[in-house]
Structure 1
Amino acid sequence: MTDPVLVLGAGGFIGDHMLHGLARQGVRVIAGMRSPRAVPDGIELRQVNALDAGSMAQALEGVGAVVNCVAASPEDMGKATQVLAQAAGPRRIVHLSTMSVYGAATGLVMEDSPLRPEGAYGESKAESEALLRAHAAQGGSVIMLRPGCVHGPGSESWTARPARLLRAGRLGDLGPAGDGICNLTSVADLVSAAAAALRVSDGTGQAFNVSDPEPEEWNAYFTKLGRAIGATPVRRLSGRRMKVEKLAAFPLKAMEILGRKAKLRTPDPMPPSLLRLFQQDIVLDHRQADAGLGFRRTPPAEALADAASWAMKAA
Structure 2
Amino acid sequence: MKVLVTGSNGFLGKAVVRTLGARPDMRVLATARQPSDRTARLDITEDAAIQADILRGVDGVVHCAAGGADVVIDGTRKLLEACQMAGVRRVVLISSISVYGGAAGCVSEATPRIKGTRSNYAGWKAMAEEASEGFPGVEIVILRPTIIYGPDSPLWVTGLERRILGGYWGEFGALGDGSCNLVHVDDVAGAVEAALVVRSAAGHVFNVNGPDCVSWNSWFQKMADLVGYGPLRHITPPVLYGRVLVALPFKALRKLLRSDRFAWVSGAPALSELALFRRKVFYPTDKAKAILNWSAHMTLADGLATIGHSRAGSGRT
Could you state the TM-score of these two structures normalised by the residue count of structure 2?
0.87
* Counterpart residue identity of residue 144, structure 1: I
Contact 1:163 1:311 (8 Å CA) reproduced:
no
Query: For 1:202 and 1:174, how far apart are their aligned partners in 2?
Result: 44
**Residue 149 of structure 1: CA displacement?**
1.7
CA contact (8 A) 1:151 1:307 kept: no
1:88 aligns with 2:80: no
Query: Percent sequence identity over matched residues?
Result: 31
Note the 1:53-68 alignment, pairs <5 A: 53-68=48-63
Q: Does 1:282 align with 2:281?
A: yes
Given that 2:254 and 2:260 are in contact with CA atoms closer than 8 Å, whether structure 1 keeps it comes out as no
Structure 1 Cα separation of the partners of residues 249 and 218 of structure 2: 29
Cα separation, partners in 2 of 1:185 and 1:271, compared to 1, 3 Å:
same
Q: CA offset at residue 68 of structure 1?
A: 0.3
Instruction: After TM superposition, give the deviation of residue 188 of structure 1 in Å.
Output: 1.1
Residue deviations 1:108-150 (CA, integer Å, cap 9, x gap)? 1000101126852111211111222332xx2321111001122
> Alpha-carbon deviation of 1:249?
3.1
Gaps of 5+ in 1: 40-44
2:66 to 68, 71, 79: 71
Q: What does residue 263 of structure 2 align with?
A: 266
Query: In the TM superposition, what are the counterparts of 1:161-200 in structure 2 within 5 Å?
Result: 161-200=159-198
Q: Distance in 1 between matches of 2:316 and 2:97?
A: 27
1:209 maps to what in 2?
Answer: 207
1:183–1:211 Cα contact (<8 Å) kept: yes
Q: Deviations over 1:181-214 (max 9, x none)?
A: 1122211111111011111011211111111233
Give the stretch that moved more between structures: 163-172 or 182-191: 163-172
Mapped contact 1:99–1:148 kept (Cα < 8 A): yes
Contact 2:211–2:299 (8 Å) recurs in 1: no
SS of the equivalent of 2:297 reads: coil
Aligned-pair CA distance for 1:258: 6.2
CA contact (8 A) 2:42 2:51 kept: yes
**CA, structure 1 residues 299+33, in 2 after alignment: closer, same or farther (shift >3 Å)?**
same
SS in 2 for 1:231: coil
**8 Å Cα contact 1:160-1:311 kept in structure 2:** no
Mapped pair 1:133 → 2:133: yes
**Which moves more between the two structures, 284-293 or 304-313?**
304-313
- Secondary structure, counterpart of 1:183 in structure 2: strand
Please report how far the alpha carbon of residue 75 of structure 1 lies from its aligned counterpart in structure 2 after TM superposition.
3.9
For residue 24 of structure 1, report the CA deviation from its aligned partner.
2.8
After TM superposition, give the deviation of residue 235 of structure 1 in Å.
Answer: 2.2
Alpha-carbon displacement from aligned partner over 1:197-246 (angstroms, at most 9, x marks no partner): 11101121111111123311111211222223211023222223312331
- For residues 137-148 of structure 1, the aligned pairs below 5 Å read 138-148=136-146
Looking at structure 1, the residues matched to 178 and 299 of structure 2 have their Cα atoms a distance apart, in angstroms, of 22
TM-score, normalization: structure 1?
Answer: 0.88
Runs of 5+ unmatched residues, structure 2: none
Residue number in structure 1 paired with 2:147:
149
**Secondary structure, aligned partner of 1:144:** strand
Checking the alignment, whether the CA contact within 8 Å between 2:250 and 2:262 is kept in structure 1 is no
| Alignment partner of 2:235 out of 237, 259, 269 | 237
Aligned CA RMSD, in angstroms, stands at 2.4
Report which stretch shifted further, 78-87 or 94-103.
78-87
Alpha-carbon spacing, 1:72–1:162, altered in 2? closer, same or farther (3 Å): closer
User: Which amino acid in 2 is paired with 1:284?
Assistant: Y
Secondary structure of 1:202's aligned partner: helix
Secondary structure class of the residue paired with 2:305: helix
Amino acid at match of 2:49: G
Partner SS for 1:67: strand
How far 1:309 moved relative to its partner? 5.4
SS in 1 for 2:269: coil
- Distance in 2, matches of 1:298 and 1:112, equals 26
Distance 1:78 1:165 in 2: 29
